[in-house]
Structure 1
Amino acid sequence: MTPLLVLMFGVSPQTAVGTDLLFAAATKSIGAGIHGWRDTVDWKIMRRLAMGSLPAAVLTLIALNTFVHIGKPTSAIILSVLGALLLVTAVGILFQRKLLAYGATHHPVGPDKALIPTIALGALLGVSVTISSVGAGAIGVTVLLMLYRRLPVARIVGTDIAHAIPLTLVAGAGHWLLGSVDFALLLNLLVGSIPGVIVGSLLSSRAPDAVLRPALAAVLVVSGVRLLMQ
């Protein structure tokens, strides 16, 4: 969403990030509700992630407001972080299975020893999501799958979505206080998301994974490179 707003619609990076965060909080609430109803959310893991992500998000917002003036310097930081994270996400999507296999054989971590790594992951996500609105999803899910290999994928995904709600709410509220949220744009995005979800669900259910992964990774790579060249 953020790279589309920046590259195709000319929205300023800070406004795109702030608006996308609140958009994500609203849309992910629906998905999290479904996962909660189906009991595919691990609340203990979610709490561990939030212990790292929420304080990191607040500290990142304070740092942006204190040390970086809202304007061109902030835009440059956001574009650089966003472009880099899109490239990392593309790698995560393309090589997720190989990364999981490598982690299982070279760096095994039991669930009882995953507390600190999970909090650290949450802190990393808190910083990256607050600056760029990117970081959860492919990156977060891949690391969680490496840390909690015995959990079903659906439970990891549900936990990641549920964790994204408080994180995007805190980060989005902070961007709103900084004046970088366009509520008219947010409303338009929410209205368009309803038919978009329907069409996307129909398309994704008919497309094989071998086609979706490279296609999504290619879009992310192109977007990341273009953002880094801004």
Structure 2
Amino acid sequence: MLSVLAVVVGVLVGMVGVGGVLLPPGLVALGDMTASEATATSTWAFVFTGVVGTIAYAWRGVVPWDMLARLAMGVVPAAFAGALVNAILPGPVVLLGLAALTLFVGVHQLRPRAVRDGRAELGTTALVVIGALVGFGSALTGTGGPVLLVPILLAVGVAPLKAVAVSQAVQLPVVASGSVGYLQTGLVDVGLGTALGGLAALGVVVGAAVATRIHADGLRRIVAVACIAAGVFLLVRVTL
């Protein structure tokens, strides 16, 4: 089941930028891991989706490299800090954070989307701050980067394809910095994370290939239901 989940997560990440939020809850539920182990291992797994996603979108010439560079200025130190904070937090606190993030993403995907012109231009300060928020939150929860960055960029008026493309590339500084922090704590299951990351990377290739060819509204609703179900599961697990 974890193998299937990894492929599905990869497809969703490659196509609409969300999906990574489902892997940590899956590792808790199906891999019998603690919340900290799940977030650490999923962060390592997203190294592989980051590499493949960046290549896939760069090959199509749609990655905004200038935006990525400014986001990375905030992402790198914040992701490292997020990993270290996760390692010292009690398990229930991490689970609650995962539940809150998962439910937020699910509800966000169900909300009606206002029509934006997609021409928003963000300054360096704004992008560094966004990068810091995304880096810290993604490393803390083991969700890779796109799941936080895409909703934020869409909310401020960045074009959807541009938002998804830069979110693929931003995974690399997020998960690289986060993984360095997690490896120091000994929480990463490198073997499992590598295997799941490879499967998810295959899914990213498929997702990226169809990202510009299908209407994503139906898929977003499926993602929303899955995220809400995962969030409810985590809340129930905390209370047991």
**Category of TM-score, reference length = shorter chain:** 0.7 to 0.9
Deviations 1:145-194 (A, max 9, x none): 34454x4x322211111011111111012111110101221233245446
Deviations 1:82-101 (A, max 9, x none): 11111111122222613xx4
Pairs within 5 Å for 1:13-92: 13-64=35-86, 68=88, 73-92=89-108
Deviations 1:195-221 (A, max 9, x none): 656887899999864432222111111
* Distance of aligned partners of 1:30 and 1:201 in 2 relative to their CA distance in 1, 3 Å threshold: closer
* Distance of aligned partners of 1:138 and 1:78 in 2 relative to their CA distance in 1, 3 Å threshold: same
Displacement of 1:115: 2.6
- 2:185 is matched with 178
* Distance of aligned partners of 1:44 and 1:175 in 2 relative to their CA distance in 1, 3 Å threshold: same
206-215 vs 169-178, greater mean Cα deviation: 206-215
Pairs within 5 Å for 1:53-202: 53-64=75-86, 68=88, 73-95=89-111, 97-98=113-114, 101=115, 111=121, 114-134=123-143, 136-147=145-156, 149=158, 151=159, 153-190=160-197, 192-193=199-200
How many pairs align?
215
Displacement of 1:33: 0.8
* Distance of aligned partners of 1:205 and 1:17 in 2 relative to their CA distance in 1, 3 Å threshold: same
Structure 2 residue runs of 5 or longer lacking an equivalent are: 1-22
* Distance of aligned partners of 1:219 and 1:27 in 2 relative to their CA distance in 1, 3 Å threshold: same
Which amino acid counterpart does residue 125 of structure 1 have in structure 2? V
Please point out which of 223, 229, 233 is paired with 1:216: 223
The whole-number CA distance in structure 2 between the counterparts of 1:12 and 1:198 is 30
Which amino acid counterpart does residue 177 of structure 2 have in structure 1? V
170-179 vs 49-58, greater mean Cα deviation: 49-58
The whole-number CA distance in structure 1 between the counterparts of 2:177 and 2:36 is 15
The whole-number CA distance in structure 2 between the counterparts of 1:200 and 1:19 is 22
- Superposition RMSD on alpha carbons, in Å? 3.2
The whole-number CA distance in structure 2 between the counterparts of 1:20 and 1:192 is 12
Q: Which has the larger radius of gyration?
A: 1
Identity, in percent, stands at 26
The whole-number CA distance in structure 2 between the counterparts of 1:166 and 1:24 is 11
The whole-number CA distance in structure 2 between the counterparts of 1:202 and 1:4 is 25
Q: What's the TM-score, normalizing by structure 1?
A: 0.79
* Distance of aligned partners of 1:49 and 1:78 in 2 relative to their CA distance in 1, 3 Å threshold: same
The whole-number CA distance in structure 1 between the counterparts of 2:189 and 2:154 is 35
The whole-number CA distance in structure 1 between the counterparts of 2:58 and 2:213 is 26
42-51 vs 201-210, greater mean Cα deviation: 201-210
Q: What's the TM-score, normalizing by structure 2?
A: 0.76
The whole-number CA distance in structure 1 between the counterparts of 2:71 and 2:47 is 16
